[in-house]
Each structure stands twice: as C-alpha cells, then as structure tokens.
Amino acid sequence: MVLSRILWTVAAIAAVSAPMTAQTRGVVHGQKPGRLVIHNAIIVDGSGAPARGPVDIVVENGLITNIINLDPVSLRGGGRGRGGAAGADVQIDATGKYVLPGLINAHAHLQSTRGQNMSLGGYEYNLKLWLASGITSVREVGSESDTEIVNNRERLAKAEIVGPRIFAYPMLGNVKTPAEARARVQYLKKLGVDGIKILGVERDIMTAMEDEARKVGLRVAHHVGVEETNAWDDIKLGTTSIEHWYGIPDAAIPDGRQHFPSDYNYLNETDRFRWAGRLWREADPKLLDSVLTSMVRANVAWVPTMDIYEASRDLQRAQNQPWFREYLHPSLENYFKPDPANHGSYFIGWSSTDEAYWKENYRLWMAALRDFERKGGVIGCGDDAGFIYEMYGFGLIREMELHQEAGFQPLKIIQHCTSNNAKILGQEDHLGRIKVGYTADLIVVDGNPLENIKVLYAGGTNAIRDGKEVRTLGSEWIIKDGIPYNGPQLMREVKAIVDKARMKQ
Ligand SMILES: [Zn+2]
C-alpha cells in the first residue's frame, strides 16, 4: 500500500515536471558512458537524511557532477537549471525507483576456493555476486594471499575485471614476537595495503603492531578472539574497528573471564560457538555501558556482522535460503556441510537449547548496538560471507535486515552500509554518499528499501504491483566509478558459473 502510494506520487510529479521521454537509453553494461543521467530518481543519500526527489543525477568522468531537483517547488523557484536529462549521452530512467549510494561491505573475504580442493573457479563468482547485490566497495579483511589481493585491487580499479572496489586489509598473521609484528606491518605498508586485520593476538604483539600501524598510517580491524585482549585494549591502543562482537561483552564481565565448563576447549569449534551463545548474558550492564562509552570516546567503530552467526540461533533458516537453489556454487555448498575441518561448519549435534541461548544472545547484542549508536558510536555493516551458510552479497542484505530487527530504522541502516562504512575506511570525503563531487557509486533499486529491505536482494523479491504479484529486479543498475552494470545480467552470469560447476559434479 505504502509503496504503491509513493509510486503514484512520483509518477504524478514526474508527469508535470519532466517533459522529456522517461526511458532508459544508450546504456551498455560494463561500458563507461560519456554523460550519464539517472532521471527522475528518489534518492536516499547515505547521510541518514530522509528520501527526496525526484531528481536527475548527472555523472561525468566517474563523478557525480550535478543533482537537479525536479519537484514542483524547486522548479517554480528557479527552473531545472543547466543540464539534466536533456543533455545526456546516456540515460537511466529511475521513475518509481530509489537511488542509493553503492553499498560498502566493511567485513568481507574475497574467495576463489573453499577448503580442500573446493574451487570456485576463480574470483568471478564472488565478485559478481557482490556487485549484483549493490556492493561497490569492499573492505577485504583477510585474503587468500597478500600479493593477490593487492593485484586484484589494481585490476578492479582499472575495470579490467568486473566487481567492487577493494580496500585490502591483510591479516597480521602468524607473528610470534613484537619485533616480528613491526616487521610485518612494514612489509605490508611497502606492499601498498590499505589497512591490517588482526585476529587472536596477545597483548605485547597487539601493542607493537598498533604502534607501528599508526606510525605508517594504516588502519586496524580487530576480530577479537576469546583471548588475552578485549575491547579495553582496543580503546587504549586506538583500533579503528572491532569486528563481530567478541571482546565487547568480555570486557564487561566482572570476573574478567566467562564462566566456561571445565572441559571447554577453544579450538573445538562446537564448544567455541556453543559457549559464545552464552556470553552476552554474563556482561554486567553497568560495566558494558562504560565499555561502550569508552569505545565512542576512543573512536573505535563496530562492524557487528550479525548475519554470520545467524545459523546459531536458527539452523534450519540458514540451511534453506531461497537463493541456494539457483546460485549456490557446489564448492560453497560442500564447504557449508557440517565438518570439524572447515572453519564455521560446526553444527554437529546443534540443539534447540543452543538456539534458545543464541536468541537471547542476539537480543542483548542488539540492545548493546542500539546503546552504542545512541552514545554516538559508528556502526558499520559487513557480511563475512563464505562461511556458515552466508553467500556473498546476500549476506550483506541479510545483515541490513538484522540491523532493522535490532531496532534501527532503514535510513540509519543505509547510513551504516554507506557513509559510516566510508568513515571506517577513511574515505568519507569521496565515497558513501550521493553528493556532488563524490565518486559515482550508485545503485538504482527496483522498489523502496525504506519500506522493504528485501528489495535489495540480488534477484529481487516478490511484490504486489497493480494488483499483480511480480518479481522485482533487485539493484537493477549498479554504477561503480561511473560505469553502469545491469544487476539481472550479472545474476545470469553468476547462474551460468553455478550451472557449469554443477554439471561437472
Ligand atoms: Zn571475517
């Protein structure tokens, strides 16, 4: 109802204000146009400001060069100004559609293979799923190879291959001493990375690496393990972002350590994930409040990746996602099967009791996220896909739905996935917003994501339009660096990869 009313309004305004023929013309998938105009769009600009429109967005040389208001009040107040669709070499008709900044995936892994001998046939499958999901930038936190990720970043920047822009944050990896940590930071800086990801580090190593990273100007993403350090170390040492959530409730446990059973073994993943589901309940609310306040003061952002733990609270949901039927690569499918040798594939004997604890765990976690933002904290958005039944791209949209479940309103959720992520990357002066002078990373969405986040899923969702059930198109156009890509076309290409791999099985 709400959607059809808005569509009607948009169409009515367009009818009076936009005399030129509203049609998409001249757009070639994957080819940089001259002057591109996205015509008659309602925009959500990524700053958290409300939707507005209709507007024409002018894109030239990979940048947003003009945003022209087409609403009756603006038109009466000074006409449409120079340019607009009339002067377009190429036009995308966005009538009835919403235009957002390209989404940024702030916690992602670029994968060509899963586990032993499980090839995805190169990076194309992963990259196209991301792009088709409206993701135009990715913070890659832990790649298959340091040099390979930098190489891929360069090829993507030159549009030699199709996919989002990459920010490379390789792992600190297996360093044994503070001196080795410093040397590793220096090596990565020389390689030209954008930041560093740390996971499971001891305090002396973390102190040395953060100090060195600050000296050479590299940002730090910390996947805190259940280990010596916790959020207090991140607060003290100046970590850019805490990934996931471990380390935050831990820092608020009065005894300083979760009450594990005596036979708990951290390297047994079933143990680890089972008891993780009983972690938030041990956090003392007062202490937690002071941890969150201190994170805000120290500028430590939070990228929660709620989607990647969702199987723990609802295994059947995770195992039966509708896009698996057409788009799940057989190697990924194999990798997801419960097997203690595959990271995250720990669901052996997973019980209703585990799920009930995890549901409570989520409620407390979501409340903490809300508190963190209320205090002024920066929340980002990432999917961590390739593990635990989460597929590339789909995982990020699911993450947005979970932000909604946590109580954030859609305008804020879009902000989490665009301008907040740009801030975490240190790219907020040119990425993550629809703003003149900014990089032309834009998505033209078939539907209103403020009403239904599911319209962002690649392959769309079902909706009622003009009294008929239809399949929507997802992000119909994804524009990265000014180059338009057609979402449905990318998904046909993904399906062809999957069909071919299934034939070989
Ligand atoms: Zn990860």
Contacts of 172 (CB under 8 A, 6+ apart): 181, 184, 185, 196, 197, 198, 199, 201, 205, 209
Could you tell me the distance, in angstroms and rounded to a whole number, from the CA of residue 209 to the centre of ligand 1? 19
pLDDT at residue number 21? 59
Could you tell me the distance, in angstroms and rounded to a whole number, from the CA of residue 236 to the centre of ligand 1? 23
Max CA distance (Å), the chain: 74
DSSP secondary structure string for all residues of 340-360: TTSTT---SS--HHHHHHHHH
Q: How far apart are CA 146 and CA 197, in angstroms?
A: 12
Could you tell me the distance, in angstroms and rounded to a whole number, from the CA of residue 173 to the centre of ligand 1? 13
Q: How far apart are CA 433 and CA 422, in angstroms?
A: 9
Place of tokens 């995982």: 395
Q: Half-sphere exposure (CA, 13 Å, Cβ side) for 88?
A: 26
Q: What's the CA dihedral at 302, 306, 308, 309 to 10 degrees?
A: 120
Q: How far apart are CA 383 and CA 135, in angstroms?
A: 11
- Sign of the CA dihedral running 231, 234, 235, 240: negative
Chain mean position to CA 89: 32
Chain mean position to CA 92: 25
Could you tell me the distance, in angstroms and rounded to a whole number, from the CA of residue 219 to the centre of ligand 1? 16
Q: How far is CA 127 from CA 144, 165, 427, 459, 487, in A?
A: 14, 10, 21, 16, 13
pLDDT at residue number 75? 81
pLDDT at residue number 10? 43
pLDDT at residue number 485? 98
The token pair that represents 15 in the structure block: 């009818």
Could you tell me the distance, in angstroms and rounded to a whole number, from the CA of residue 495 to the centre of ligand 1? 25
* DSSP three-state, residue 229: coil
Could you tell me the distance, in angstroms and rounded to a whole number, from the CA of residue 444 to the centre of ligand 1? 28
Could you tell me the distance, in angstroms and rounded to a whole number, from the CA of residue 141 to the centre of ligand 1? 6
pTM given for the model: 0.94
Contact between 125 and 494 (Cβ < 8 Å) = yes
Percent of the chain that is helix, strand, coil (3-state, to 5): 40, 20, 40
Could you tell me the distance, in angstroms and rounded to a whole number, from the CA of residue 51 to the centre of ligand 1? 32
Could you tell me the distance, in angstroms and rounded to a whole number, from the CA of residue 120 to the centre of ligand 1? 18
Could you tell me the distance, in angstroms and rounded to a whole number, from the CA of residue 212 to the centre of ligand 1? 23
Q: How far is CA 50 from CA 53, 206, 410, in A?
A: 10, 41, 10
Q: What is the full per-residue pLDDT of the chain (505 aa) written as tens digits?
A: 444 444 444 444 444 444 455 789 999 999 999 999 999 999 999 999 999 999 999 999 999 999 999 988 888 776 555 456 668 899 999 999 999 999 999 999 999 999 777 899 999 999 999 999 999 999 999 989 999 999 999 999 999 999 999 999 999 999 999 999 999 999 999 999 999 999 989 999 999 999 999 999 999 999 998 889 999 999 999 999 999 999 999 999 999 899 999 999 988 888 888 999 999 999 999 999 999 999 999 999 999 999 999 999 999 999 999 999 999 999 999 999 887 777 777 788 899 999 999 999 999 999 999 999 999 999 999 999 999 999 999 999 999 999 999 999 999 999 999 999 999 999 999 999 999 999 999 999 999 999 999 999 999 999 999 999 999 999 999 999 999 999 999 999 999 999 999 999 8
Q: Closest Cα partner for 348 from 378, 311, 399?
A: 311
Could you tell me the distance, in angstroms and rounded to a whole number, from the CA of residue 263 to the centre of ligand 1? 27
- Can you state the angle between helices 178-191 and 203-216, rounded to 10 degrees? 30
pLDDT at residue number 84? 64
pLDDT at residue number 22? 72
Contact between 307 and 353 (Cβ < 8 Å) = no
Could you tell me the distance, in angstroms and rounded to a whole number, from the CA of residue 99 to the centre of ligand 1? 29
Phi/psi-derived region of residue 437, left when phi > 0, alpha when psi is between -120 and 50, beta in every other case = left
DSSP at 202: -
